[in-house]
Structure 1
Amino acid sequence: MCNFVLLWQFVFLNQLKLNFCHQSISCSMKNTIVPFLHQTCRNAIYPRSNGVKRFTVPDNLVNWMEKYTEYKPEFYESSSLVGAPYADPAIDDTNFHPIWNSIDGKIDRTSFHGEYEIRDKYPLNVAGRTGVAGRGLLGRWGVNHAADPIVTKWKRSNDGTIVKHTTSGRNIVQMVAIQRRDTLEWAIPGGMVDAGEKATATLKREFIEEAMNSNKVQEIDRFFEKNGTEIYSGYVDDPRNTDNAWIETTAFNFHDDTGDTLKDIKFEAGDDAGSVRWLDLDRNIELYANHHDIVSKVAERLNAHW
């Protein structure tokens, strides 16, 4: 009887230990791993790199916790970063002492997904392997923070009536979209947060630069002063991401419910955009990176057609 009790206690305590370890690992993974599998940044060729080919990363080996002994990605860093005021120095620069996972002076090096790992001086992408090492086209090692303003209104007929979709019966919402010059894809007119800049300031600045290209911005100033609604904050599946540098964004929706504020605003594509227009939102539209997923949250919030 005594031996049976001792055996039972041994089994119970070890099972408790295993459960605790499993929970600890799960919590750690949850805090550092993006809750979706990135795809766009695992394409064949890294953009604007003169042919740098990404090392193949199967879906089951994206996670850094999975052993991948054959993994030997090419190191790539654009020459345009050398001496650029927005860029970090080389990782081995003796004067470069970044404070990872923290507010480092004027630079926010924190991730929305928790603490990321530093391995051999290099930060590891919170979403896993990408097939290219280094920082590619991105200025910062680790997190590169962006901000995306999603400016919307209801689609209206000539008499001002809100147009409903013939299938869903819901109101059709439109978004100010830009066509990127590099990929020709339609996108949210956002951009990178400057050092020391708040994301809320970036939202307005980038919208004016990319969608207006004009000094007549008083109406937009007033429009953006009305607090927008935060839609998303987190990882962006951007083709520029690498193993050691990636983009995370804060997306806000600024909705003109009556249509009066934006009806007389003339939009004009800025230097980084090929064109700009009002785009009807629908689940079948193709957008840059994972902008499709972000925009779907706007449609959901407004109870609009999707």
Structure 2
Amino acid sequence: MIKLTFYVLFCVVMTKSFTMLTTHLKCRGGIYPRSKIERFPVPDDKVDWSSEYKQYQPPDYTESSINGKPWADPNIGGSNFQPKWNDVDGKVSRVSHMGPYRITNGYPQNPIGRTGICGRGILGRWGPNHAADPVVTRWKRLESGKMVLDRDNKPILQFVAIKRGDTGEWALPGGMVDPGEKVTATAIREFQEEATNFLVMSDEEKEEWAQKFHEFFKEGEIVYKGYVDDRRNTDNAWMETVAYNFHDDNGSIVGALKLHAGDDAVGVRWVDATPYISLYASHDTILKEVLKQRIDSLR
């Protein structure tokens, strides 16, 4: 019994360590985005807050230009800002998908660990910043409609990817959840704004596609909910997302829609999904899960 208990505890610790090191890489080390601030080095064995790190002196950085923005929190400590941590605060959700997070000296603490920088960085909220990522997929087909197969005689899954204007990386067409907005609504809105020509359609075309979008986006499946390894993360503010897979099995709905880069995207296209693909933040991890689930569904 003692050996079994020890083994279970060992597995829990190892799983937690693996999660930290595989979901907390891009937000450690290097220059913080849109700044000249260099993060304090955080070795793998110092990520966990429980690991002693007396030398840890991260720079404190909050981009001044976001202060006063309607989507941004005020600085902590002001009399006009009394946030309800780990709760729904008015229309703003400060609840983490990772479970309750600690408040240390009045500041929310990144649930995964140290990032080498404290403050809010360029994120709008202290604590969790919620996003939604739609993973829109189809099977790759010839013009005749016949499925294209890979070398192993398996269908090839494709997904809609946008090229981010800020980093130049390919990513899922997601975005931030507005206060009081349902996550599913965010996913639909972001896909329309970033990956389709919806914003430049005529009123007649919008009406035609609105019904198709409404039906198509009712069938989404949650494939991931949690922390995002985003370069914007800090010790006190971090990205989380809910990712949905919307699959166009015969390619007749979204698969037939002309893609058009909009909003913050500078490019958009259908991309073949592979286990080795590299995308922005944790998007490649999300896509790999979708790929696995879709291939499994064919068996």
User: Shorter chain as normaliser: what TM range?
Assistant: 0.7 to 0.9
* Contact map agreement 1:86 1:139 (CA 8 A) in 2: yes
Do the aligned partners of 2:172 and 2:283 also contact (CA within 8 Å) in 1? yes
In structure 2, C-alpha distance between the alignment counterparts of 1:287 and 1:219, rounded to whole Å: 31
Runs (5+) with no aligned partner, structure 1: 1-14
Identify which of 59, 63, 68 aligns with 1:83: 68
- 1:193 maps to 177
How far, CA to CA, are the matches of 2:217 and 2:79 in structure 1? 43
The CA deviation at 1:34 is 5.6
Q: Secondary structure at the match of 2:77?
A: coil
Q: Give the alignment partner of residue 188 of structure 2, picking from 182, 191, 204.
A: 204
d(CA) in 2 for partners of 1:105, 1:271: 28
Change (3 A) 1:254 1:225: closer
Aligned to 1:149: 134
Contact 2:217/2:246 (8 A) holds in 1: no
Indicate how the Cα distance of structure 1 residues 43 and 299 shifts in structure 2: closer, same or farther if over 3 A, else same.
same
Identity %: 51
Q: 2:51 aligns with which of 55, 66, 73?
A: 66
Residue of 31, 41, 60 corresponding to 1:56 = 41
**After superposition, what is the alpha-carbon deviation per residue over 1:129-165, rounded to whole angstroms, capped at 9, x for unaligned?**
0001001010000000000000000000122111111
Per-residue deviation, 1:79: 1.7
Q: How does 1:1-306 map to 2 (within 5 A)?
A: 36-49=22-35, 51-166=36-151, 168-215=152-199, 216=206, 217-218=209-210, 221-303=213-295
Name the count of aligned residue pairs: 280
1:270/1:68 CA distance change after superposition, 3 Å: same
C-alpha deviation, 1:283, in angstroms: 1.7
Quote the residue 1:9 is aligned against.
none
TM-score by length of 2: 0.88
CA-based RMSD: 2.2
Matched to 1:267, the amino acid is L
CA contact (8 A) 1:42 1:57 kept: yes
- What residue identity is the alignment partner of 1:110? V
Q: Is the 8 A contact 1:130 1:242 kept in 2?
A: yes
SS of equivalent to 2:27: helix
Q: Which runs of 5+ in 2 are unaligned?
A: 200-205
- For 1:11-65, what per-residue CA distance to the aligned partner results, in whole angstroms no more than 9, with x for missing partners? xxxx9xxx89x97xx79x96xx86844100013100001x100000000000001
Q: With the length of structure 1 as denominator, give the TM-score of the two structures.
A: 0.86
Kindly provide the CA deviation profile for residues 112-140 of structure 1, in whole angstroms up to 9, marking residues without a partner as x: 11111100111000110000100101000
Q: Which has the larger radius of gyration?
A: 1
Q: Is this contact kept in 1: 2:29–2:42, CA < 8 A?
A: no
Judge conservation of contact 1:113–1:234 (CA < 8 Å) in 2: yes
- CA apart distance, 1:186: 0.5
